[in-house]
Chain A
């Protein structure tokens, strides 16, 4: 009887190592780079160095391919269903293509065009659209799985959750594995948090190798499930059935049953960034770092260059930042709409 896919106890350092062996042939070993201009922004009273793990240069433009490949490989099913705001969808689509399986993807109606096109046209997955709330996504995915099982057999269709599936979380942890191989002398690693899959995998692996390395989470103010969960001492999800309005569209999810316990126990701290801070940091990385990154990623850069981080942890010198993705619609950069509106409002 296969273990249930959601169980924090099954996210282990060994499972991360094993996952890495499984997914290694299919992914890029992304580089780690530095940028003095960004170092200056992180100074806040001391000389610091930021190390950027370039997962935006990964296959499908995001770290998600790692977890997807691990999960698809371990699955008995031929038909993989998933619900995603974009990057996981692409990951499942490409993963299935690489491993010879069929992908069906449930996407919110307001997904950026570039993400929809990648899933459907580039990687050949079937796409179904739903209302842009987490609840609607989950409902439609469940229905699809049932229908496929009825058609092809009980073990022939499966849903792979973007961030609570244990196989996915273990796969994401390989980012931490590579990072420590490439840059062993780190004081902290800053990771964006949506559903918590990436930070859970990274924290699980990194803390087992060197528990002194601080794992720092970054969330938008609009969607700070992890921040509020740590504060409350219990799982707090983002408000249900509401449309969360953040430019960091890839991190709107909340923590869940697999990731909350890991974040609670192994993540040292979670900081939030305002919409303005996310925007500024994303632009900074684009303009000065010359990297195309998505705002969900700029979020981590915002926290890694913030005074609030270094006021609390002044001793940090070598700080890694995971650049989790680079899928941006260049015709609809998130800030142009707001700037236009501000110009209309005028000064008061």
Chain B
């Protein structure tokens, strides 16, 4: 039986000072084997498929879900076939191949790649299993193990005041909210759902109180690039007792978040991950009671980053500031 990594919950005083709060704890999902929280849900899903006799996991994600699918398949003795659109970078393609998957490039966008992935599964449904990137109950159930660990690792009497979670497709959020409800932290702990301005599908859906589809993604936080958040995330967000605040940040702020993670916590993360820190910062700046609060930042992890690229993003952000160009919405 394969297990995900039980990641550290690490207190960080420098970030607490930066955010002006009483305490900041980082849930370090970058410690997962494939580099992101995705392993939690993907292992659960893959294991179930394996017990049904599936030989090959098929994914259409050119991102961390694809990498996780590759890792989970290999760990469980199955093959992985990942279909990625032409827009996927060489960088990520190599990363996914390096994790042991067969990578097929197909289609101009994710929908085309996903269609091809589903076709492959349909041609051999007994032996192939489709691994969706975020929209599946087994994924949410797997992700909720994060909260099982939080509850054990949290060192204080009272539950945390807030947990910041990055939101792309909403799989992680759905898992976290489910876990909070299970452990009775749903009345005490607010959730900050962090998105970037160019990928704000949950924000729009919550504002409309209905699922909403974005026209396009316009953010460098590629891992948050889902046009429509999954229904489960929306339903749970609307019913979370302590409340869910959607917080939108600019790409520049997300990059700033990455820099702060690097400088103050010595970890290198993707903009999607820096988004959670940026969102917490933005939200808490307006909170008069911030000083007394203890918060958890879910460091979701992710492999789509390098030192060189982070420097590049930071330079671009600085340039945009000096030239006064606003981020597109």
User: What are the interface flags for A219-245 relative to B under an 8 Å C-beta threshold, 1 for contact and 0 otherwise?
Assistant: 011101000100110000001001001
B1 pairs with A348, CB closer than 8 A: no
From B51, B73, B79, residue with most partner A Cβ within 10 Å:
B51
A246 and B77 contact, Cβ closer than 8 Å, known pairs A221-B100, A228-B100:
yes
A221 pairs with B78, CB closer than 8 A: yes
A275 pairs with B48, CB closer than 8 A: no
Interface-side segment among A129-137, A144-152, A337-345: A337-345
Q: Is B98 interfacial (CB-CB < 8 Å)?
A: yes
Q: How big is chain A's contact interface, by range?
A: 20 to 34
A221 pairs with B77, CB closer than 8 A: yes
Q: Is B204 interfacial (CB-CB < 8 Å)?
A: no
Kindly state the separation between the CA atoms of A246 and B1 in the bound complex, as whole angstroms.
Answer: 10
Q: Is B307 interfacial (CB-CB < 8 Å)?
A: no
Closest Cβ–Cβ distance, residue B137 to chain A (whole Å): 10
Quick one: which of A294-340 are within 8 Å of B by CB?
338
A348 pairs with B73, CB closer than 8 A: no
B51 pairs with A341, CB closer than 8 A: yes
Kindly state the separation between the CA atoms of A18 and B138 in the bound complex, as whole angstroms.
Answer: 58
Closest Cβ–Cβ distance, residue B191 to chain A (whole Å): 30
Q: Which residues of A contact B52 (CB under 8 A)?
A: 342, 347-348
In the complex, which of the residues A272, A278, A341, A342 contacts B79, with contact meaning CB atoms closer than 8 Å?
A272
Q: Is A276 interfacial (CB-CB < 8 Å)?
A: yes
Kindly state the separation between the CA atoms of A79 and B120 in the bound complex, as whole angstroms.
Answer: 56
Classify the interface of chain A: helix, strand, loop or mixed: helix
Closest Cβ–Cβ distance, residue B124 to chain A (whole Å): 12
Quick one: which of A266-302 are within 8 Å of B by CB?
272, 274-278
Q: How big is chain B's contact interface, by range?
A: 20 to 34
Closest Cβ–Cβ distance, residue A249 to chain B (whole Å): 12
In the complex, which of the residues B55, B75, B79, B98 contacts A245, with contact meaning CB atoms closer than 8 Å?
B75
Closest Cβ–Cβ distance, residue B94 to chain A (whole Å): 10
Closest Cβ–Cβ distance, residue B96 to chain A (whole Å): 13
Q: Is B2 interfacial (CB-CB < 8 Å)?
A: yes
* Chain B residue with the shortest CB-CB distance to A342: B51
Kindly state the separation between the CA atoms of A293 and B191 in the bound complex, as whole angstroms.
Answer: 55
Closest Cβ–Cβ distance, residue B3 to chain A (whole Å): 10
A276 pairs with B51, CB closer than 8 A: no
Q: Which residues of A contact B13 (CB under 8 A)?
A: none
Closest Cβ–Cβ distance, residue A304 to chain B (whole Å): 17
A232 pairs with B98, CB closer than 8 A: yes
Q: Is B25 interfacial (CB-CB < 8 Å)?
A: no
From A221, A247, A277, residue with most partner B Cβ within 10 Å:
A221
Q: Which residues of A contact B33 (CB under 8 A)?
A: 239, 242
Closest Cβ–Cβ distance, residue A34 to chain B (whole Å): 28
Q: Which residues of B contact A231 (CB under 8 A)?
A: 97
Closest Cβ–Cβ distance, residue A24 to chain B (whole Å): 38
Closest Cβ–Cβ distance, residue A55 to chain B (whole Å): 24
Quick one: which of A94-110 are within 8 Å of B by CB?
none
Q: Which residues of B contact A228 (CB under 8 A)?
A: 98, 100
Kindly state the separation between the CA atoms of A276 and B76 in the bound complex, as whole angstroms.
Answer: 10
Give A contacts to B, CB under 8 Å: 220-222, 224, 228, 231-232, 239, 242, 245-247, 272, 274-278, 338, 341-342, 345, 347-348
8 extra A-B contacts, CB within 8 A, seeds A274-B56, A275-B76, A275-B78: A221-B79, A228-B100, A245-B75, A276-B78, A278-B77, A341-B51, A342-B51, A342-B52
